[in-house]
Amino acid sequence: MKRVGLVAHDKKKADLIEWSKAHADALRRHALYATGTTGAGIVAATGLKITLLKSGPLGGDAQLGAMIVEGQLDALVFYVDPLTAMPHDVDVKALTRLATLYDVLFAVNPATADAILAAI
């Protein structure tokens, strides 16, 4: 069982929810953590058991980052919207930096999320 973080920018939430629906059986084998709004959408659509953190702008991205630093997250699926400016861009960059620094499996789109899920 791996510990997997799930988060998506607003315009990518529906995509991550659809991906989660398609991969619910595989995700069910892991401990899942998600930022509040993203996680609530996934739970409603799939019934997966997910530990919900704060919404991203309210500290959820920072909570995921802290989990990475503490060695409590094995993989992060973060559907990024590259075309929309984020008011909490500093938090987003910090989370990306920590996932890279601590060598955590890190997916930013469906192709990399599929590869990571197949590997864990």
Interacting residues of 93 by C-beta distance below 8 A, sequence separation 6+: none
CB atoms within 10 A of CB 37: 19
Assigned token pair, 111: 């192709």
Catalytic option among 10, 15, 25, 61: 61
Q: Sort residue 89 into left (φ over 0), alpha (ψ -120 to 50) or beta.
A: alpha
Three-state DSSP class for 98? helix
Active site residue 74: no
Which residues are annotated as catalytic? 61
